Amino acid sequence: MANQQHSKIWFITGASRGFGRVWAEAALERGDLVAATARKVDSLAALKDKYGDQVLILELDVTKPGQAQAAVNQAHTHFGRLDIVLNNAGYSLVGTIEEASLEEVKAMYETNIFGALAVVQAALPLLRAQGYGHILGTSSNLGHVTLPVIGYYASSKWAFEAIHESLALEVAPFGIKVTIIEPGAYATEFGSEHSLKFAAGMDIYTDYKNQFFGQLKELKRGDPQATPAALFQVVDAAHPPLRIHLGSENLAWVKGVYAERMALWEKWDDVAQSAQSLSQ
């Protein structure tokens, strides 16, 4: 087993594929210790075969709070501490606002929001007792902007961002750090059937969605294997950022969107000001 005194100890959800798998393997390669979780532990068998005692494989469906509590506690007991808690489990619901059912939206929120909360709430007492820890959450550039057809997914990331920003302020006095990871478009398995769920379509949106999907295919996608080095800079920093984009396309897009928002708010500011008081 790697030297625990100098290695970081990670707890990672959604470690079976996508960024979760890439980051788990990269952490293990650099000598860190990882509690890797997934709904099906068989999907993590190769990690155990390759890294042995460096990795603890745990079954975790984040939509089951009791399972989240048990997994976090088991990882903490096994390794003696947790340095990094990384919420990565999530998926996207594809469908227009009209098409998706309330049940489908609720199910996505159960994973993307309430699942992440279950892990955070399970970990916080342990991190607080340690007097340190770093909570990482995988969001998206869609935590600041949005697109049609995946608006519900974007909405889950907007909520994710707000929760983690509040969390960062609340736990800073206990020595706990929080960072929101915001990847752009990457060539991961996020587009697979395991990471996408499709709402039943309506004919009136067919042409619109076909056009949208055609535009998505033109997006410049980053190499997931290029991301671990950036992530390690964040977790190794004495003062890590609250937010960090991953990829080269995000910042320009977000800056443009916020410039448009500021211009619109300023254009309507006289109306906004008039709503302050009847005495004006």
**Residues annotated as catalytic (active site), given as ranges:** 139, 153, 157
Task: Determine the residue type at 15.
Answer: A
Contact 242, 165 (CB under 8 A): yes
**Residues 6+ away with beta carbon under 8 Å from 45:** 57
Closest CA to 109 of 94, 125, 91, 95: 91
Q: Rounded to whole angstroms, how far apart are CA atoms 191 and 187?
A: 8
Closest CA to 162 of 123, 208, 117, 210: 117
Contact 90, 12 (CB under 8 A): no
**Residues 6+ away with beta carbon under 8 Å from 227:** 19, 22, 23, 183, 186, 246
Task: Determine the residue type at 122.
Answer: A
**Which residue do the tokens 């929001």 mark?**
113
